[in-house]
Amino acid sequence: MDQRELTHFNAQGRARMVDVSDKPATKRKAVAVSTVRMAPETLARIRQGGVEKGDVLAVAQVAGILAAKKTPELVPMCHPLPLTGIDIRFAFPDDRTLRIEAEVTTTAPTGVEMEALTAASVAALTVYDMCKALDKAMVIGPTYLVEKRGGKSGDFVRDEAPDAQWG
């Protein structure tokens, strides 16, 4: 793709925040996932509420919600958006993996993919922070967009999850 085709560059080829003032506000949703791989004993303690720092999943959930709201402060070209919903869900696909799913919704002129990705990432980082005394070998990732709904570019739904080696 030619640099002139990218709307995130100005006439000098420098990054800019895209002007979305002429775009209509539409309903949008994005879902992102991050995983944290850890020792089975660490995951068992998280599930049982046996981590000394507190309820890991409750803290990670609040951290993910806050992170979605703070995305434009962390990612320079993101627009501040009126987020209308944020949900963080947890699953345990096996005895070593915590799956974190972040869903973010808005009615705005631009999408919420970055907010969902930020929420999932910060929730995963929070799990690491709260459990690092138990398991410094935890691995975060992959983190990826699962789906995006609404907007000019249309919907996107990932067919399958990438693995940790995916590039």
Residue set of the binding site for substrate: 77-79, 114-115
Nearest to 116 by CA among 141, 93, 152, 143: 143
For residues 77 and 17, is the Cβ–Cβ distance under 8 A? yes
65 Cβ contact partners less than 8 Å away, ≥ 6 residues apart: 86, 88, 119
Active-site option among 2, 129, 135, 155: 129
Listed in order, strand segments (DSSP E) in 38-96 are: 83-94
Q: Tell me, yes or no, if 55 is annotated catalytic.
A: no
Q: Which residues are catalytic?
A: 129
